[in-house]
Amino acid sequence: MSTGLCDLHCHLDGSIRPSTVRELAKDTATDIPTDLCFTPGMGLQAALSRFAFTLSLLQQPDQVQRVASELCEDAAATGVTTLEIRFAPQLHTGAPMDQIVDAALRGINGRAGLILCALYGDPPALADALVDLAIPRLGVVGIDLAGGPAPHHRWGMSDLQPAFQRARGNGIGRTVHAGEGRPASEIRMAVELLHAQRIGHGLSVLDDPEVTDLVRDRGITIEACPTSNWQVGVIPSIEAHPLPLWLAQDLRVCINTDNTLLSDTDAAKETDRVRTIPGIGQAQIDRLHAHGHAARFCR
């Protein structure tokens, strides 16, 4: 059994070292926003808007490679032994997507799994292209649907079903951001349509007993990101996170950072914050990390 901490839900473009932010901003003559980091209760759309700046620093393959390498180093330094890094290569436009993905893999150098993210609203062709990139690259262990749905989106979750089905057929892991302040029905769709093995955030999983049963019975792991959830405003405080309720329902759940820079966290800090939740002791912490180690995507 793996020991140490795990972090399966960590976004590359939200997890740049502060010193690297300063260096890359200087290199690109970009001003660093004074309100870059997340703040409690800011809301999901405001949080997503922060990525415009960090993405501006990561348009070239060498920048992506550097940050991926540093992220692996920093995770190991905080006790992480199981790491997966995710990003949307289509947002890094300084080179073709295959070169961007290969740059991330060079930076990772076998120290973590890489997950490629489609975004809510992306066309099916884009999700297909990500699966095409993943199939021959064993370092790419999964695909994700990230961000959040919006009324103006032409494409919905169901439109990505063929791409996620093809990923499943090729042994590529599937995870989906779902139930992050949105109905439990979104979690059901992620599991039944996209064959999700893991759910990012999943805060509404207990709102519908049938969804709770579905997630439990299929052994779906929820990627909990308590600090991020508090900052985005889907829980009023870290202490109010439903982690103990999930464990009491025999749901599989692990602890994750989401964005180390933007949320000012790391795996060790996140674990310490989870300890402040009533009903969480060392036995529960060990269980949460064991779930994470067991849920890593393998190819």
The answer to whether 4 and 81 have CB atoms below 8 angstroms apart is yes
Residue 274, both tokens? 């989870």
> What pLDDT, on the 0 to 100 scale, is given for residue 2?
67
Instruction: Give all domains of the chain, ordered by start, each with its CATH number.
Output: 5-149+161-295 (3.20.20.140)
Is the pLDDT at 191 greater than 70? The verdict is yes
User: 180 catalytic, yes or no?
Assistant: yes
Q: Give tens-digit pLDDT for 226-242.
A: 999 999 999 999 999 99
Percentage of the chain modeled with pLDDT above 70: 99
Q: Give tens-digit pLDDT for 73-96.
A: 999 999 999 999 999 999 999 999
Catalytically annotated residue among 70, 73, 84, 180: 180
Average of pLDDT values for 136-140?
97
Q: Tell how far CA 176 is from the center of its chain.
A: 9
Query: What SS3 class is residue 118?
Result: strand
Q: Parallel, antiparallel, or unpaired for β 198-201 and 252-255?
A: unpaired
> What pLDDT, on the 0 to 100 scale, is given for residue 28?
87
